[in-house]
Chain A
């Protein structure tokens, strides 16, 4: 499969030169690319055919589980939606002590910038 991908890359870069003979008799070389193949999508693979199963596990399963338990996401985003400041502050609360120093420093800088931007500038503060 890797070999086929490399072959396809070679085909894409290969530009064919066609000789076009004009009506007046002069020849000129025109460069043409082949029409790309449409990508083959399997609409019935495992992921696509089983998409959405267990989404109603709460309603149909006695409310023992909630669909938000099904989400695969970083732990600070499971069943949570917010703007950038809310997401970053939640990340700092939940994961902050596990982060690398550079990431934590950037996170704090970004939170400070967004706080000042949202609460001190603009019409809505």
Chain B
């Protein structure tokens, strides 16, 4: 979406916002917000209830369940989503921390400069210490202006890593915050399964355009094996991407506008993310066997 800033008129009233606080009016696509969340007394069936026990003071979040079978079809039913995963307080600082972690922990910078001892040559004293009238030097590789190909004393040194790990619970909370933000901004949609009638990319694009999901869509399914049709349809599309549920992460959710989960994915995510709320801290890494590990 391209938005043009509105410039302040010279006769602005005192109640007008300053230009750096004014939001452009076409930030949010109004067609997407035409469908309100399902009301209490909706006639559609409740397909899935939350598996985990809900605390008494929280009520589950209800969403429509769509199909990908036909382009303009009505929602199949309703789902209940756990509020501790899909309705968490929007912690932008945790999102920022997790996003920077994702960018940096894999980063290896291969910038390297040679020190004066590593530069080829330069073992001999160029002129004698005293008597020549020039500045005293020990080698031609020490520093400019002696010779251009000198060594760098405080430059980048070799392949350097920026690896660090955030605490596990912070990363889990980052996922929960990202999912709840997508839910709150109505960018999250639940689908019963990723079965498409045709392996045509145009069908997917028209479906997305009809339902006003957004420009870029992230499709998430539980298993590593996807139906043939959707694999072929998304193969040539750049902005529509398909990932297994294990590959879900904050950066991809922020990069793609809309996130589409299947019912199995929702159950899988709730099970994995809610376990961290009530677990004991580990005595040894979780990859080693535990007797009571779920």
- Interface set of A (CB-CB < 8 Å, partner B): 44-45, 48-61, 63-64, 66-68, 70-74, 77, 79-81, 84, 87-88, 106, 109-110, 113
Contact = CB atoms under 8 A, between A and B. Distances in A.
19 contacts: A44-B238, A51-B255, A54-B247, A54-B249, A55-B102, A56-B249, A58-B286, A59-B168, A60-B246, A63-B287, A67-B105, A71-B161, A73-B159, A74-B159, A77-B108, A77-B159, A81-B162, A84-B158, A110-B115
B164 interface: yes
Contacts of A88: 158
Contacts of B273: 59
B198 interface: no
A27 B108 CA distance: 56
Contacts of B247: 53-54, 56-57
Interface of B: 102, 105-106, 108, 115, 117-118, 157-165, 168, 171-172, 175, 216, 238-239, 241, 243, 245-252, 255, 268-269, 272-273, 276, 285-287
Contacts of B102: 51-52, 55
Given A50-B241, A68-B105, 15 more contacts: A50-B252, A55-B102, A55-B251, A57-B247, A59-B171, A60-B269, A61-B246, A67-B105, A67-B165, A71-B105, A71-B108, A77-B159, A77-B160, A106-B118, A113-B117
A17 B89 CA distance: 62
